[in-house]
Amino acid sequence: MEAELVALATAGATALVQQMVGDGWGQVKGRVTAFFARRAGTDPEAVGEELETVRAELLTADESGDAQAVSEAQAEARTEWRARMRRTLRADPQAAAELRALLDELTPPTPGRETGLEVHNTMSGGVQHGTFIQAGTIGSVNHGAHGGS
């Protein structure tokens, strides 16, 4: 159970840090603030201020153009919020379902996952020299040289 909580807290912190520098931050901030405020009597205003402080640090690092500063700021923010999420999940196991739902909203879908469709292609039978095209229908596409006579 602990490993599952750690994985969920890690995913939550990673998504949160990514969203902190994104365009939809206002909505995300509101959802995350509400998530923490519903537990242990946490003051929503204090949570909002903490989120904004970390966001300001991330934006400052990003604006500096220093890749190492950005990486360090992101790692520090992830560590801080992962620990906080893990403590919240330990104290209130029911929070896991809410955090999963929040993650589903924050995390962009993986290509091919929207429909549940995955495609895996395999070539075998020796060495292939030249172009290999695999398709159901390509239309009127011609590939390669024509042996014109």
Q: Is residue 137 part of a domain?
A: no
| Residue that is written with structure tokens 């992830």 in the block | 78
Domain extent for 50? 2-106
Q: Is residue 11 part of a domain?
A: yes
Q: Is residue 118 part of a domain?
A: no
Q: Is residue 72 part of a domain?
A: yes
Q: Is residue 135 part of a domain?
A: no
The predicted structure's pLDDT at residue 30: 92
Q: Is residue 44 part of a domain?
A: yes
Domain count within the chain:
1
Q: Higher pLDDT residue, 39 or 64?
A: 64
Return all residues near 4 (Cβ < 8 A) that are at least 6 apart. Answer: 96
Name the token pair of 15: 């998504």
The predicted structure's pLDDT at residue 23: 85
Give the residue among 36, 29, 31 at the shortest CA–CA distance from 55.
29
Classified as helix, coil or strand, 103 is helix
Angle in degrees, CA 33, 60, 18, rounded to 5? 45
Q: Is residue 34 part of a domain?
A: yes
Q: Is residue 115 part of a domain?
A: no
- pLDDT tens digits for 41-72? 778 899 999 999 999 999 999 999 999 999 99
